[in-house]
């Protein structure tokens, strides 16, 4: 039986429609599991995720959502993190390895810190799919994508 992915762009659209207050509540959350105490989380995910695994996946998505901006194109999460801006600053390899080596929920906390620093512009459905299936394989894919797109 094939599992269908959620409509990630609908989630992004719902995020965009939130007023500043609920968006700020979601930004202030320090850990993915704290989202269950935030009403805005339920406005975004009410009725979605029937299994515990899906609920955790939605937590990961909403936890990272405040730190990204969707752009059309083929910009993956790894490519967006590999981008070095005009100021010459980008994500260091060391910080990315902290994400890869960490276990849940610290891996998501570290990733969100990086996302908050660089505010990446990426293709949200591509990034969301990677976060949806977040595991050792998707971490490895992130790392490989980062190095394949790293500016010299």
In this prediction, residue 152 carries a pLDDT of 54
**pLDDT per residue as tens digits for the range 105-123:** 999 999 999 999 999 999 9
Asked if residue 137 has pLDDT above 90, the reply is: yes
In this prediction, residue 50 carries a pLDDT of 85
Asked if residue 143 has pLDDT above 90, the reply is: yes
At the topology level, CATH places domain 8-149 in Peroxidase; domain 1 (1.10.520)
Q: What is the mean pLDDT of the chain?
A: 93
In this prediction, residue 142 carries a pLDDT of 97
pLDDT (mean) for 34-50:
92
Q: What is the pTM of this model?
A: 0.93
**pLDDT per residue as tens digits for the range 47-100:** 888 899 999 999 999 999 999 999 999 999 999 999 876 666 789 999 999 999
Asked if residue 29 has pLDDT above 80, the reply is: yes
The 3-state secondary structure of the chain, one letter per residue: CCCCCCCHHHHHHHHHHCCHHHHHHHHHCCCHHHHHHCHHHHHHHCCCCCCHHHHHHHHHHHHHHHHCEECCCCCCHHHHHHCCCCCCCCCCHHHHHHHHHCCCCHHHHHHHHHHHHHCCEECHHHHHHHHHCCCHHHHHHHHHHHHHHCCC
pLDDT higher for 58 or 151?
A: 58
Nearest Cα residue to 114 out of 127, 133, 132, 126: 127
In this prediction, residue 46 carries a pLDDT of 85
| CA distances in angstroms from 102 to 15, 75, 95, 150, listed in the order given | 28, 25, 11, 22
Domain map of the chain by residue range?
Answer: 8-149
Nearest Cα residue to 26 out of 73, 75, 59: 59
């Amino acid at each position: 039986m094939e599992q269908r992915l959620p409509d990630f762009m609908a989630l992004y659209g719902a995020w965009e429609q939130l007023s500043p207050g609920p968006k700020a509540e979601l930004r202030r959350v320090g850990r993915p599991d704290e989202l269950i105490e935030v009403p805005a989380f339920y406005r975004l995910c009410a009725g979605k995720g029937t299994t515990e695994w899906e609920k955790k996946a939605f937590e990961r998505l909403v936890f990272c959502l405040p730190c990204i901006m969707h752009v059309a194109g083929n910009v993956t999460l790894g490519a967006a993190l590999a981008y070095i801006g005009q100021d010459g600053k980008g994500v260091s390899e060391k910080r990315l390895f902290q994400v890869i080596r960490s276990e849940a929920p610290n891996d998501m906390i570290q990733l969100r810190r990086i996302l908050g620093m660089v505010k990446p512009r990426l293709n949200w459905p591509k990034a969301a799919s990677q976060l949806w299936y977040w595991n050792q394989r998707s971490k490895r894919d992130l790392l490989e994508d980062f190095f394949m797109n790293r500016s010299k």
